[in-house]
Chains A and B, each alone.
Chain A
């Protein structure tokens, strides 16, 4: 299936070792602009590592990481500059505990983009508004529920107006009743045209929102296709086996 849309992010021939462990074995990933790519697979399959290669939190041992056509996995590339445009949302939120929600969101605007405090406050409040957390701007992370913290974390990435957002199991650490709030925000981002790559076990969300889905096992992409192809009618036995175990949740 040929895609004529530009690929905003492309990983080619990615290899990664952790010591003797060959975690990513010649992996290719293509993310079209405006799409939501879902990565599923058993733990240890390398999906988080692959996601973290996208913003170079992990550096591939070999292979190319093409962001908007440019290989960012090269010496001399200003990774900090690139990371302003590739946002990341973590399983454990990682909000800065010594700052309130507004400061968490505005830190990069003030210290990296060097915006005035008025401008960075305005942009930050807008980002918090977008995730429904504006009313908690003055709250410390310790005063927020998990779902609220995660939404502030999303706002923190959004404030920089990134071209792509990476989600590393964004709801896995949340109590079940808080998951919906975060997924709602993610759905709204999807609808507004944000390019997203999501590692997650949230199958119903994937079926509803993903454009492209990728199944990984033991460091390789075993099968990929549209969400309905992969989830309803996978051809690979290993994928069928994995999806069957998830149904028991």
Chain B
């Protein structure tokens, strides 16, 4: 038999919720701004890397592939901890926000590059040939013919990957970043009650469910007949 009263007292305690709400709200601002920053830099850098890769300069491509494979293989948490704790030993000091942003951006950039590249590669060779045959330079063919087609294919996987990595902002709690999870968990310790943690969970839902719904809309909007 579940004791409903005890459940409510421990997890849905209104008095405690009221007390810690302002604190958690501050964390929301950090989580959202960090998330947006990661999405912006991650996807932009990923796109640029894929465009560079399309120029097919062997030596540069090798460098990109190595970088991308490393960033896709390392757990984001490891990168965050490395940047925050290890870099100071080589005179580079990053704040909790910067370490988390930089680490997550690298990971998103690596995955995005692969997604953009797969999109570019999937465009039939005939499209390149037709574009180049009318005098378009390699760059213009990419901009006006290839990328517009490739981008439509990348939106769905990019959105889902961006959501997955951006939830990693919670990892910033490990380096004392004042984001939602950090605040929720220390508030719960202080209060001796799980309610702040439940509030934290709700906050993540409130932030990410719209993101997920946006992803669905984007997926259905960006399909066209071949």
Contact with A along B109-129 (1 / 0, CB 8 A): 000000000000000101101
A80 with B135: CB separation less than 8 A:
yes
A94 in the interface, Cβ–Cβ < 8 Å?
yes
B148 in the interface, Cβ–Cβ < 8 Å?
yes
Cβ-Cβ contact count across A and B, 8 Å cutoff: 70
Can you list 19 A-B pairs, Cβ within 8 angstroms, ordered by A?
A: A80-B132, A83-B133, A83-B135, A84-B135, A88-B133, A90-B129, A94-B126, A95-B130, A97-B149, A97-B226, A98-B148, A107-B131, A108-B134, A112-B136, A140-B225, A142-B225, A156-B130, A160-B134, A160-B135
- CB-nearest residue of chain A relative to B130? A94
Chain B nearest CB from A112 CB (Å) reads 5
Known interface pairs A98-B149, A107-B144, A111-B144; A157-B133 also in contact (CB < 8 Å) = yes
Among B126, B136, B148, B226, point to the contact of A80 (Cβ < 8 A): B136
Contact with B along A75-115 (1 / 0, CB 8 A): 00000110110111010101111100000000110011000
Among B124, B126, B136, point to the contact of A108 (Cβ < 8 A): B136
Chain A residues, CB < 8 A from B134: 83-84, 87, 107-108, 112, 156-157, 160
Chain B nearest CB from A248 CB (Å) reads 30
Q: Is the interface of B mostly helix, strand, loop or mixed?
A: helix
Chain A residues, CB < 8 A from B145: 96, 107
Chain A residues, CB < 8 A from B135: 80-81, 83-84, 108, 112, 160
Chain A nearest CB from B207 CB (Å) reads 33
B130 with A90: CB separation less than 8 A:
yes
Chain A residues, CB < 8 A from B124: 94
B93 in the interface, Cβ–Cβ < 8 Å?
no
Chain A nearest CB from B127 CB (Å) reads 6
A107 with B136: CB separation less than 8 A:
yes
Interface residue ranges, B against A (CB under 8 Å): 124, 126-127, 129-137, 140, 144-145, 148-149, 152, 224-226
Chain A residues, CB < 8 A from B136: 80, 107-108, 111-112
Using a CB-CB cutoff of 8 Å, which residues 151-169 of chain A contact chain B?
Answer: 153, 156-157, 160
Q: In the assembly, what is the distance between CA of A80 and CA of B140, in Å?
A: 11
Chain B nearest CB from A49 CB (Å) reads 13
Q: In the assembly, what is the distance between CA of A97 and CA of B130, in Å?
A: 12
Known interface pairs A57-B133, A108-B136, A111-B136; A94-B144 also in contact (CB < 8 Å) = no
Q: In the assembly, what is the distance between CA of A55 and CA of B131, in Å?
A: 13
Contact with B along A56-85 (1 / 0, CB 8 A): 010000000000000000000000110110
Chain A nearest CB from B174 CB (Å) reads 44
Known interface pairs A55-B133, A57-B133, A83-B132; A98-B224 also in contact (CB < 8 Å) = yes
